[in-house]
Structure 1
Amino acid sequence: MIYPLAFGFANSECTESWTWFLKKLRKVIQYLDRVMLVSDRHNGIFNAMEAIFPDAAHGICAYHLAQNLKRFCKQRDNVIWLYYRATYAYRIEEFDRVMSELKETYCKVYDELLVAGVKKFSRVHSLKKRYFLMTTNIAESMNSCLLAI
């Protein structure tokens, strides 16, 4: 289960707003060595995370990365399916096999994944245990609810 720990309201998604939020969050997190932040790679989040949680692992939301990858290919279904297979792989051998297939068939997508950082999107290479929590869906769900208000 995912439980929202905290949420805040800000004028915009910028480094200043995210810094404020992460400072507040840091005050209530007891085990800082276990922290892993999963984001959509927004610069404001990344900059604030580096300042407030410099030792935390940083992961990329699997869904958001998939959406970004779609711009590199015309046959989207197959490439996204391969991407998710690599992302959710439990064994390095499986990850390597799928990444090789991506490299052969969708070189631009493969290159973009390397730029993103294997440790940030791959479950098997993650610096912290991600289990099945690979997306920021809880944040998107809350955004949808709040927009209706």
Structure 2
Amino acid sequence: MIYPLAFGFAHSECTESWTWFLKQLRNVIQYPERVMLVSDRHAGIFAGMEAIFPDAAHGVCAYHLSQNLKKFCRQRDDVIKLYFRATYLYRVEEFNCEMAELKATHRKVYDELLEALQKYSRAFDMKQL
């Protein structure tokens, strides 16, 4: 089953609220060990996921990661394009080629993104499940 969206109402976006929300979500998911949760890297979400869904695959939303990258690399459209190309590739070999180009273009961004993209790109996401 796929649960593309769920809603919960809480007082604030904090670890306690996210943990409560994820507990409620776990109660309705039939096979929680086969879940992949994608978030915007909020610390409270990650803490809740680790506590409530420790065996689930955890991902980061490519859009939110790109927004952080845009703040970090202002005026570097070439870097943003390389990021998106690498993120949306399905084959590891193609991903590695794009990352090599990113490394040659902007080493600091490459170093920051390598771990995140290996964990959250399409080329690697099915290997986590």
The alignment's TM-score, normalised by the length of structure 2, stands at 0.89
* Cα distance change, pair 107–10 in 1 and its aligned pair in 2 (3 A): same
Q: Deviations over 1:37-59 (max 9, x none)?
A: 00000000000000000000000
Q: Kindly state the Cα deviation for residue 4 of structure 1 after the two structures are TM-superposed.
A: 4.8
8 Å contact 2:87–2:117 — kept in the other structure?
Answer: no
Q: 1:52-131 to 2 correspondence within 5 Å?
A: 52-116=52-116, 118-119=118-119, 121-126=120-125, 127-128=128-129
Partner residue, 1:8: 8
Size of the alignment, in residue pairs?
A: 126
* Cα distance change, pair 67–42 in 1 and its aligned pair in 2 (3 A): same
Q: Kindly state the Cα deviation for residue 115 of structure 1 after the two structures are TM-superposed.
A: 4.3
Partner residue, 1:143: none
Give SS of 1:124's match.
helix
RMSD: 1.7
Q: Which amino acid aligns with 1:125?
A: F
Q: Kindly state the Cα deviation for residue 20 of structure 1 after the two structures are TM-superposed.
A: 0.4
8 Å contact 1:72–1:108 — kept in the other structure?
Answer: no
Partner residue, 1:136: none
The alignment's TM-score, normalised by the length of structure 1, stands at 0.78
Provide structure 2 residue ranges, at least 5 long, that are not aligned to the other structure. Answer: none
Partner residue, 1:18: 18
Moved over 6 A (4+): none
Provide structure 1 residue ranges, at least 5 long, that are not aligned to the other structure. Answer: 129-149
Q: Which amino acid aligns with 1:122?
A: S
Q: Which amino acid aligns with 1:54?
A: P
- Higher-helix-fraction structure: 2
* Cα distance change, pair 115–51 in 1 and its aligned pair in 2 (3 A): same
